Amino acid sequence: MKKILPVIAVLLLGLVVWSTCAKKAPTKIEWAVSLEDALKMAAEKNTPVIADFWSEG
Amino acid sequence: MEDSTFTRQNVINLSAEMIFVKAEAKKDTMVRDQYNIAGYPTVVLLKSSGEEIDRIYGYVPADTFVAIIQDYLQGKNTLSDLENKFRSNPADVNWAFQLAEKYESRRAYDKATLYYQKVVELDQDNQKGKTADALYSLASLEVRKKDYSKAVDAFQYFLQKFPNSEMAADAEEYIPYCYAKSGDTTKAIELYQAFLINHPGSPDTAWVKGRIKDLKGEKK
**Which chain B residues are within 8 Å of A50, Cβ to Cβ?**
14, 18-21, 43-46, 69
Answer yes or no: do B191 and B160 share one domain: yes
Degrees to nearest 5, angle at CA B45 with B39 and B46: 120
Mean pLDDT over residues B104-115, rounded? 96
What's the pLDDT at A56? 77
What's the pLDDT at B218? 80
| Cβ contact, residue pair B20, A27, below 8 Å | no
Tell me how many residue pairs between chain A and chain B have CB atoms under 8 A apart: 125
Distance from C-alpha of B37 to C-alpha of B63, rounded to nearest angstrom: 23
Answer yes or no: do B85 and B32 share one domain: no
Answer yes or no: do B11 and B94 share one domain: no
What's the pLDDT at A57? 63
Answer yes or no: do B42 and B112 share one domain: no
Query: N- to C-terminal Cα distance for chain A?
Result: 70
Distance from C-alpha of B173 to C-alpha of B204, rounded to nearest angstrom: 9
Domain encompassing residue A30:
25-50
Answer yes or no: do B104 and B165 share one domain: yes
CB B159 within 8 A of CB B170: no
From A33, which residue of chain B is nearest by alpha-carbon distance?
B21
Mean pLDDT over residues B121-126, rounded? 94
Answer yes or no: do B206 and B132 share one domain: yes
Domain boundary among B73, B107, B127: B73
**Which chain A residues are within 8 Å of B19, Cβ to Cβ?**
32, 38-39, 41-42, 45, 47-50
Lowest mean pLDDT, pick from A14-23, B10-19, B101-110: A14-23
What's the pLDDT at B10? 94
A4 touches chain B (CB under 8 A): no
Pick from A48, A15, A43: nearest CA to B53: A48
Residue range B34-88, pLDDT digits in tens = 899 998 999 999 999 999 999 999 999 999 999 999 999 999 999 999 999 999 9
| Cβ contact, residue pair B20, A49, below 8 Å | yes
Q: For each of chain A's 57 residues, which pLDDT tens digit applies? A: 667 777 777 777 676 666 655 567 788 999 999 999 999 999 999 999 999 998 876
Query: Which residue stretches of B123-167 are H helix?
Result: 131-144, 148-161
Q: Considering its fold, how many domains does chain A have in total? A: 1
Helix, strand, or coil (residue B187): helix
Answer yes or no: do B62 and B83 share one domain: no
Q: Is the predicted pLDDT of residue B212 greater than 70, yes or no?
A: yes
With a CB cutoff of 8 Å and minimum separation 6, the contacts of B155 are: B136, B139, B171, B174, B175, B178
pLDDT above 90 as % of chain B:
88
B166 touches chain A (CB under 8 A): no
CATH number of the domain residue B201 falls in? 1.25.40.10
A22 Cα to chain B: minimum distance (Å): 13
Kindly report each contact of residues B79-84 with a partner whose C-beta sits within 8 Å and lies 24 or more positions away, as own/partner.
B79/B54, B79/B103, B79/B106
Answer yes or no: do B61 and B98 share one domain: no
What does each C-alpha distance from B201 to B37, B81, B155 come to in angstroms? 34, 44, 22
Q: Determine whether A9 is exposed, middle or buried from the number of CB atoms within 10 Å of its CB (0-12, 13-18, 19+).
A: exposed
Distance from C-alpha of A27 to C-alpha of B7, rounded to nearest angstrom: 9
What's the pLDDT at A10? 72
Domain boundary among B52, B73, B94: B73
Q: Considering its fold, how many domains does chain B have in total? A: 2
Residue range B151-199, pLDDT digits in tens = 999 999 999 999 999 999 999 999 999 999 999 999 999 999 999 999 9
B125 Cα to chain A: minimum distance (Å): 37
Domain encompassing residue B49:
5-73
Answer yes or no: do B116 and B199 share one domain: yes
Q: Give the amino acid at B190.
A: E
pLDDT band (50, 70, 90) for residue B29: confident
B46 touches chain A (CB under 8 A): yes
